[in-house]
Amino acid sequence: MRAAAIHAPSSDRMPGMLFSATPKDLKGTDHSLLDDKTRKRRPKTFGMDVKAYLRSVIPHLESGMKTSKSKDILSADEVLQWSHSLEKLLSNPTGQDVFGSFLKSEFSEENIEFWLACEDYRKTESDLLQKKAEKIYKAFVHSDAAKQINIDFCTRESTAKKIKAPTSTCFDEAQKTIYTLMEKDSYPRFLKSNIYLNLLNDLQANSLK
């Protein structure tokens, strides 16, 4: 199945999206990877239980899903919207989780973790900015960060200076760089991946029953 054409958001501004849930820490969510066998063989019962399949991909997803009484746990149309743009994908809480699981399989989960941390940081109260800015910087931006993001030297240095007197926008430049990286690199591969195509195909098949 071919993915729908991707319409990249305007490059002169960061997309206005809400952070779905405040992380307990900056280590990121504990996404589960699909093992090789799971990637090669789609679950036979997926059409019968979309919720169970999603839990097998992302164990913690249960808390963010609609109740079992809901007719549509996750619709095919909703998942198809994810192929319209990275902005559409990241504006959806479930989309964030599924994309995060894909990035973890590519060993680049620090990108979405940083992006989400920045979304959360932007809503931080002014008296807490300093502490949170230092935490994000040490986790993702510092040259010795355990989950160092891939940004250029000038952006890294500029961000280091900004957090000395932090504002709600001091990570905007670095966040925009990472967003563009995901948009041009990881996102196109995600749309061609088994994790996305199998999910979409099975939801579409399930909707016809």
Domains of the chain as residue ranges with CATH: 74-207 (1.10.167.10)
Reduced to 3 states, what is the DSSP secondary structure of residue 30?
coil
Q: How big is the chain, counted in residues? A: 209
pLDDT of residue 34: 40
What pLDDT does 53 receive? 56
Please tell me the predicted confidence (pLDDT) of residue 57. 54
Each residue's pLDDT tens digit in the chain (209 positions)?
444 444 444 444 455 444 444 444 444 444 443 444 444 444 433 443 555 556 555 544 443 333 333 334 789 999 999 999 999 999 999 999 999 999 999 999 999 999 999 999 999 999 999 999 999 999 999 999 999 999 999 999 999 999 999 999 999 999 999 999 999 999 999 999 999 999 999 999 887 76
Amino acid type, 112: I
DSSP H helical ranges for 41-109: 50-57, 76-81, 86-90, 93-105
Counting beta carbons within 10 angstroms of the beta carbon of residue 164, is it exposed (0 to 12), middle (13 to 18) or buried (19 or more)? exposed
Q: pTM of the predicted model, to two decimals? A: 0.68
Q: Which of 87, 61, 86 is nearest to 74 (CA)?
A: 61
Hey, what amino acid is at 10?
Answer: S
- Dihedral over Cα of 134, 160, 169, 181: its sign: negative
pLDDT of residue 54: 62
Q: Which residue do the tokens 């993001």 mark?
A: 149
pLDDT value of residue 208: 75
Q: How many CA atoms lie within 13 A of 189 on its CB side?
A: 11
